[in-house]
Structure 1
């Protein structure tokens, strides 16, 4: 048998099967996203939330509404749709906030308990001071001002090593919206920060050099802030976190290829000294 005559058709057939498999996988995912988007929009319409944008990445949904209240309500509705795994609420300004939604609710009024508290004198106003209370000439030390323990050098170094091991956080192209994989990595970062509660961290955003310098600077800032907001949402104390954007000013590599551009698009965690 002449192998030179047989091998080329075999190679072509194998490559063709690989391409066909990739096309089928992509098409199947697109079908799932399209079907889930349709279901989500139907559920939102039934709930009277028509002005909501739904974007699916696999089975993970992002919903964007004009107000925080509508975005949170839409996330609840879409989260109940069969087949959708996770839902994140956004407004045009970023992650939706329950606090902002409550503050903007005109029907929110003080409850009966707070009115009663205002009308009833507190025990401190009538009871004589106890032995533990300060008398004239003494100053009470606020409980919240007690100094916290400073992390050791070894603790800082270990936290930095663990944070460096976290995969790169990805975003939707030219936006501060996290991809589904990006949201997964932020959850991983939150777990690492929970393991090192003694350290403070600066979240640094970097972009590639495509686009204007001013746009990249603003985009890097918004991406760093988005990661910070998501970490706080996941339970990390906001006092431990700061964010800063560097735009395209601090590339990891000189960009010569698309792969180089991808390396330069990144979010880094730096432990404060």
Structure 2
């Protein structure tokens, strides 16, 4: 037989291999078809069961016998999981709610002099570290990825604007607003703090309840700078100039309602010591009553008379005696 006429026979193992591969391909195709059929069946039955229970609009998906659901309301999560999980053929089911917008951050910062405390939550550890680092406090700031960041970055700037002299100030970031309350020493600090809050959250989202309360030493200076409170000769009756000076004192005290004042009356040595003591007491009482009549709370005031016992200068000339005849305001606040 010539070489051209020779019949080549494949080895037996080749035929067996081809047959096995064919069977595997057929089995895989059948398995895929069965899997798709199971997934379609579970998806259809789950959707029907959810709709029957009043849960509409749910997204249902199965991979094999493992299901995943997205419901339109977080209130339906538990019920949807029970309904689908109890269906025959379902192995596991994972149910989630809709993607929700981040919650508004809620942070409260208290500032009392140089002491700063903070509570609340921010969205990340990096933001927490940045905020607490600038505030100089680790109090109560936690991390919650579900909260938003609006206004958080500007809080430290508000604290910086307050300085270290403000008392009992509260900074609250909540529902997209910043609320400021407490007292600051000057209008300049008040304005700088308000501007920092407006920069952090927007001018229309700031509630400013801050009050300006100068420190006691500044109020004392203002009272000392008043014109002398004068009276008729040897009398507790105020002159016109004396009434005007008391009115100016009332304006200062009404603007600073936390200030407590002692009113002291003093005389020269012209009359007897007994007369001068009584006159000084009567004059300080007249000033007290005039302040109360102007609207100053009586509980903030006290009146004392010292007669000629506390001369400011030697009582040797008319000019010096005029200096010694005086009514003084002594601020009692520490």
Which of the five TM-score ranges fits, normalised by the shorter chain? 0.3 to 0.5
Greater share of strand: 2
Alignment TM-score, normalising by the size of structure 2: 0.36
Greater share of helix: 1
Greater RCO between the two (CA within 8 Å, min separation 6)? 1
